[in-house]
A and B are shown apart, each in its own frame.
Chain A
Amino acid sequence: MKGPQIPRQRRFGALDIGAQLALLVALVLLGLWIAGNVRVNLESRQVGSGFDFLLDPAGFDVSESIIDYHYGDSYLRAFAAGMANTLRAALPAVLGATLIGFLLGICLVARHPMLRGFARVYVDTVRNLPLLVQVLLWYFSLTTLLPESANALNLGSALFVSKAGISLPLPVGNLSLWITLALAVGLVVAAWLLARRSFVPIGRLTLGTLAMAALLGFAVPRLTGVPYEVELPELGAYGYSGPLTLSPEYFALVAALTLYSAAYVAEIVRAGIQAVARGQSEGAHALSLTRSQTLFRIVLPQALRVMVPPYTSQVVNTIKNSSLAVAIGYQDIVSVATTAMNQNGRAIECIAIIGAVYLSLSLLVSAVLNVYNRRAGIQER
């Protein structure tokens, strides 16, 4: 009988280490080869390299920038404007898609067959059509069917719809407005807390909140003595411009993106609701809760836990899909970077900027939503 042996290490055999070394060496060689090619190619095109070009003046305009940008400002500013435009399109789309998708998702599991049917047809159609085709359709429709500025459709002198876009009035930010907004936010938070902590019927709570908000809107200007003011659109040489003008490009992108993402959110909501065990609704039924009480107080709180991970990916997808802007000339970050690239030839740097922007956005969104995920206490992989 042999004595006890020394403990064996079964971590990595020589073959494993050899294979990994070979992989590393191959990657390094590939990198060097690429770098060599890049150098040759850039030299022959007489294009410099490096990110110093960011401080040079950009030879193009960024239409509808929400930050201050003019022709001749630096490339860096142009990129910032592009990024602002990306967020300007993506965030409303995410918000709209969440709201519409949520309602659609509930329709998908409704009892009434027509509600279910409409929702189902909508979701299946929208999800199977390429987003690009939907964006193009919106864009084509808006630019073809809308009238010229001279004959714009209007709602009094407040709202104008024409080929130049949709011009909306914008409230002026004075004392009354800020106070009202602050109080309104406080009201909503209070109402939400009340709904969670107690069992106040949600319908009545919503009506009450709305009534109080209306009261606020009435009372505040009278108390402060500063009335609400609104800036109206003006008719200029190039059509209507105003404090808030949404170009057809912007509107087409956001509309298509919202409706497309809503279909995906609807499916996520449906899957979440159906993942909640049947026994839950049966228990609620045994307690004589109504269907809407069961939905909002029993099923949805549990469904939310299941929904968060796929919802996170969907938000990131929506942000990435906003890059389709380049197909219709809305100047988001991809569009700006491509224009810059065509102008100064620094293709690698510009693409790297696009990559860095989207990667950081994805990480940011995932990080933020993961905080909620962990608090909701579900086991993710």
Chain B
Amino acid sequence: MHPSPSAWLPRLCRTFFSDAASTVVTLISLVLLLWGAWALLSWGLLHAVFVPDNQACRVASGACWGVISEKYRLILLGRFPYEAQWRPVLGTVLMVGGVLCIASPRFWNLKGLAVFGASVAAMVVLMAGGMFGLDPVGTDLWGGLPLTVLLSVLGCMLAVPMGLLLALGRRSKLPVLRAVCVAYIETVRGIPLIAWLIFASFVLPLFLPPAWQLDLMLRVGATIVLFAAAYLAEVFRGGLQAIPRGQYDAAHALGLSRFQTLGRVVIPQALRMTLAPTVNIVIGVLKDTALVSVVNLYDLTGTLKLALSDPDWQIFFVETYIFVALIYLALGNGIARYGRFLESHNVPTHHR
């Protein structure tokens, strides 16, 4: 029996006006929402300036979106040489395409992996240049959204297998291997990423022979991978621990070797079980890339600061921050949504 169409009114009243407290909350929320919506509309749209006219912006009472039209290339692409800026754009599009490809369960096989790997390689080639007739561009000029995306994607891609190995190592019965893995995981997780980035920036060169001149980008990228791997290791360890003994017994009874049991039975289940915390760590990696701006790499946050160092446009920092924030939010929400899709599409891994 479906409720009659006119029954929505009593249901509405019950939800929003059920008692004194909730009525007050409803009224206050409505007032705040309406006022907020009006203020946003008025500031952001009605009285806003959309052209990059500094004088007009200062005079206007609304938002100055002109700062975006003026600075968007700097914020999005950093200091990459102007004529070659099609390269990071193309590279980012390809890489995002590769990510979307491997995100679809239909491509969870070697073919998908190959496509994904190729897209990442294409991105790196397009950014660095030096082959296929492209002019070389030093890593210090890489920046903006392409850098953020590259560091995040490459970071996660390499951190997942490493985290898995660390988790398996930590659960090993060999005491030396276990001790090494535990020491690594606890030390890396105990110290903030910014300290590790400073380490990679200033201290790591001291640990290497003077002849080796490792690029800062390489060192920073490696730091992000090693850091994320330690967190992923703990997450995967939880998943591995949750797999009931019976699964190992069944694989043993069927004659599967230790490697086959791990690869076909244990790890696939552990990965599926730890989907939610893994997605959280992936979003964490995206946010952590912002920290590279502290060690002189110009990711999206670094280019934001760069754009705001222009004294003419500095007072319109709110609009610039909103622009960058929307990009981060879009990326983060996209990843979170994908995580929820995976979880619902997922084979139920309930063990009685």
Query: Could you tell me which A residues sit within 8 Å of B by CB distance?
Result: 12, 16, 19-20, 23-24, 27, 34, 37-38, 40-42, 44, 111-115, 118, 124-125, 127-133, 136-137, 140-141, 144, 320-321, 323-324, 326-327, 334, 338, 341, 347-348, 351, 354-355, 358-359, 362-363, 381
Contacts and interface: CB of A to CB of B under 8 A. Distances in A.
A362 B188 CA distance: 12
A321 B207 contact: no
B255 interface: no
Interface of B: 15-16, 18, 22, 25-26, 29, 173-177, 180, 186-187, 190-192, 194-195, 198-199, 202-203, 205-210, 238, 241, 283, 286-291, 293-294, 301, 304-305, 308, 314-315, 317-318, 321, 324-325, 328-329, 332-333, 336
B25 A112 contact: yes
B207 A34 contact: yes
Q: What secondary structure prevails in chain B residues at the interface with A?
A: helix
A119 to B, nearest CB: 12
B290 A132 contact: yes
Given A128-B333, A358-B191, A118 B29 contact: yes
B329 A354 contact: no
A42 B26 CA distance: 67
Nearest to B333: A128
A321 B195 CA distance: 11
Contacts of B287: 128-131
B290 A358 contact: no
Contact of B290 (A133, A338, A347, A351): A133
B33 to A, nearest CB: 8
Contacts of B317: 137, 140-141, 144
A112 to B, nearest CB: 5
Contacts of A12: 173-174
B295 to A, nearest CB: 10
B209 A381 contact: no
A355 B195 contact: yes
Contacts of B205: 41
A243 B173 CA distance: 58
Contacts of B329: 125, 128-129
A129 B325 contact: yes
A136 B301 contact: yes
A40 B209 contact: yes
Contacts of A115: 25, 29
Contact of B194 (A37, A44, A113, A323): A323
Given A12-B173, A351-B203, A359-B186, 18 more contacts: A20-B175, A37-B208, A41-B206, A111-B18, A112-B15, A128-B328, A128-B333, A130-B290, A132-B290, A132-B291, A133-B324, A320-B192, A326-B294, A351-B199, A359-B191, A362-B190, A381-B238, A381-B241
